[in-house]
Amino acid sequence: MAQHFLTGAELTPSELSSVLARAADLKANRAELAASRGKFAAKTVALIFERPSTRTRMSSEIAVHELGGHPMVLSGETMQLSRGESIKDTALVTSRFAHAIGIRTGSHATVETLAAEASIPVFNLLTEEHHPCQALADLLTLQERFGTLEGLRLAYVGDGNNVTASLMVLGALAGMTVAVATPDGYAPAPTAVELAESVATAGGAVELTGDAQQAAAEADAIYTDVWVSMGDADSEAKKSDLFAYQLNSALMSHAKPTAIALHCLPAHPDEEITADVLYGQQSAVFDQAENRLHVQKALLEHLLG
């Protein structure tokens, strides 16, 4: 039976540790790996994008290429999906051609249906509910900075969106405390909280609060994301609600002196994060972006063996 990666909860703690360790090795030996290019010889990975993408598309396409396979990039609007072909039929047909499917789409149910009907691995490149490949890169970044994940405190401030959900799930799985601070009405989905709590290992926990300073207190890292996510209406009211949750130097002062600032990008400087923090000495934001490539390669190796 094919192994999928839809929320991150599919991994065991040892598998998560193995994927991150392999990502670190792939990063350290990128030139040697690119020279050999034999890992995925004769393998094709279908990459379906129904939503705009920069880092996800580049990291996925380059990952397959550097492993020696063929990335088949497909736009939703140029596929028969745009004319009403079912996800089931898409899964059945693509399983006859490719060796794995990555998809970036809206409804999480689309990914679940694709995985249920496909006979090859399916991995989630973003849905409205989860963004697990991003969270893998975030954990690799934290592991690089602090040497370990177990016992770290990660504060997330802002809108409780798909990134928040994946940070909770994979952070709890890794033995971290993920403290999420959101205003009323913006808390992460209860189902995401329940999923994170169900996979939490010893030391892993999720904390929910309305107080950004409380979440940030003695944190090893503070994370934020855009206030208006892809597919959301650009609302001035929402920006106003979230303004007190801006990641700025004042908030960073509540974290440990060694704390880092994280953001999954794209960023809107001086909205959800101030420019001085985004580009400052404590920022690890662009390490996160680079690490998307290395975790993508490690994940593909894990799923395809």
User: Which are the catalytic amino acids?
Assistant: 104, 131, 134, 225, 264, 292
Determine phi and psi for 207, rounding to 5 degrees.
Answer: -120, 135
* Count of Cβ atoms closer than 10 Å to residue 141 Cβ: 23
Please report, as a single letter, which amino acid is at residue 125: L
| Count of Cβ atoms closer than 10 Å to residue 163 Cβ | 27
* One-letter amino acid of 289: A
CA gap 81, 28 in Å, rounded:
39
Rounded distance, CA 103 to CA 126, Å?
A: 7
Cβ-proximal residues to 266 (8 Å cutoff; 6+ apart), any chain: 54, 226
At which residue do the structure tokens 């090795």 appear?
A: 25
